[in-house]
Amino acid sequence: MIVLHHVPQSRSMRVLWLLNELGVAHQVVVHPFDKSLRQPDFLALSPAGRVPALEIEGERMFESGAMMEYLCEQFPERGLGRTPDDMDRMPFLVWLHFAETITQHVAILTQQHIMLREDHMRSPTVMRLEAARLRKCYAAIEERLSPPVENRDHLLTSGFSACDIAVGQAVYMALHYARLDGFPETQKWYARITDRAGFRAALPADNEARLYQQEFYEPPDG
């Protein structure tokens, strides 16, 4: 049995989306984003007290990129990974892990906007810099999706893959801090992949607590 330990709107969402796309049986254990993740029972699954944590076949995993690679390898017939002999293996690895580059900038912005509750703790300079860095990430995606390459509707020439899931979920979080204005190919790609049932099923349920209470967070003046 596959058990995913999940906090809505966090990195674990990309693993949940992948599991939905793979169509394999799994159980989701939803956790609040609070100090309960530092309790011994959870630390036994994820020693840094972070999500996702994955229990699979009596073993544990606690890095989302590793989970995605492993799950794709375990279910190759679903076609969401790329094997070492595949022409798209190199870009598969690059774009799968590029999601974490985006997410690191998102994490800093989430700390600034949400976790630091007092205005005097926050840095408008850091907020602006990190939002600008997200736009540089968008520019990299835009270049990947833009001509002269034709018919690239996804990050890999060979079609939809776990890369689109990983990067798409990172962009989902990033859009709370930096809009996609000026990146038309990325906008079309994002609309295309988030129209999938697997993505919609990974969104927070109506009764679940959300990390983001606003659709967009503007940096404060100053």
Across the range 36-51, mean pLDDT stands at: 95
Say whether pLDDT at 39 is over 60: yes
Query: Is 99 within a domain?
Result: yes
Across the range 66-85, mean pLDDT stands at: 97
Do 40 and 131 belong together in one domain? no
Query: Is 220 within a domain?
Result: no
Do 69 and 16 belong together in one domain? yes
Please identify, among 45, 78, 111, the residue that sits at the C-terminal boundary of a domain. Answer: 78
- 47: domain CATH number is 3.40.30.10
Across the range 43-54, mean pLDDT stands at: 96
120: confidence class by pLDDT, cuts 50, 70, 90? confident
Do 187 and 97 belong together in one domain? yes
Across the range 18-38, mean pLDDT stands at: 96
Do 101 and 185 belong together in one domain? yes
Query: Is 163 within a domain?
Result: yes
| Nearby residues of 9 by Cβ (< 8 Å), 6 or more positions away | 173, 204, 210, 211, 212
Say whether pLDDT at 222 is over 60: no
Dihedral angle at the C-alpha atoms of 99, 101, 102, 108, nearest 10 degrees? 130
Q: What sign does the dihedral 190-195-200-202 (CA atoms) show?
A: negative
Do 49 and 118 belong together in one domain? no
Across the range 121-130, mean pLDDT stands at: 94
Residue-level pLDDT at 139: 98
Query: Is 208 within a domain?
Result: no
Do 106 and 181 belong together in one domain? yes
Query: Is 215 within a domain?
Result: no
Residue-level pLDDT at 151: 62
Across the range 105-126, mean pLDDT stands at: 93
Question: How many independent structural domains does the chain possess?
Answer: 2
What span, in angstroms and rounded, lies between the C-alpha atoms of 107 and 68?
20
Q: How would you write the chain as a 3-class SS string?
A: CEEEEECCCCCHHHHHHHHHHHCCCEEEEECCCCHHHHCHHHHCCCCCCCCCEEEECCEEECCHHHHHHHHHHHCHHHCCCCCCCCCCHHHHHHHHHHHHHHHHHHHHHHHHHHHCCCHHHCCHHHHHHHHHHHHHHHHHHHHHHCCCCCCCCCCCCCCCCHHHHHHHHHHHHHCCCCCCCCCHHHHHHHHHHCCCHHHHHHCCCCCCCCCCCCCCCCCCCC
pTM of the model: 0.96
Do 191 and 93 belong together in one domain? yes
Q: What is the mean pLDDT of the chain?
A: 95
Do 69 and 102 belong together in one domain? no
Across the range 9-38, mean pLDDT stands at: 96
For residue 166, what are its two tokens? 């990983």
Residue-level pLDDT at 117: 83
Please identify, among 43, 78, 113, the residue that sits at the C-terminal boundary of a domain. Answer: 78
Do 151 and 178 belong together in one domain? yes
**Residue 24, number of CB atoms within 10 A of its CB:** 13
Query: Is 83 within a domain?
Result: no
Residue-level pLDDT at 150: 63
219: confidence class by pLDDT, cuts 50, 70, 90? confident
Do 150 and 184 belong together in one domain? yes
For residue range 188-216, list pLDDT tens digits in order: 999 999 999 999 999 999 888 899 999 99
Do 107 and 185 belong together in one domain? yes
- 94: domain CATH number is 1.20.1050.10
Query: Is 140 within a domain?
Result: yes
What is the edge-to-edge ordering of all strands in the sheet holding 59-61?
26-30, 2-6, 53-56, 59-61
Query: Is 202 within a domain?
Result: no
Query: pLDDT > 70: what percent of the chain?
Result: 98
Domain hosting 145: range is 89-196
Do 67 and 164 belong together in one domain? no
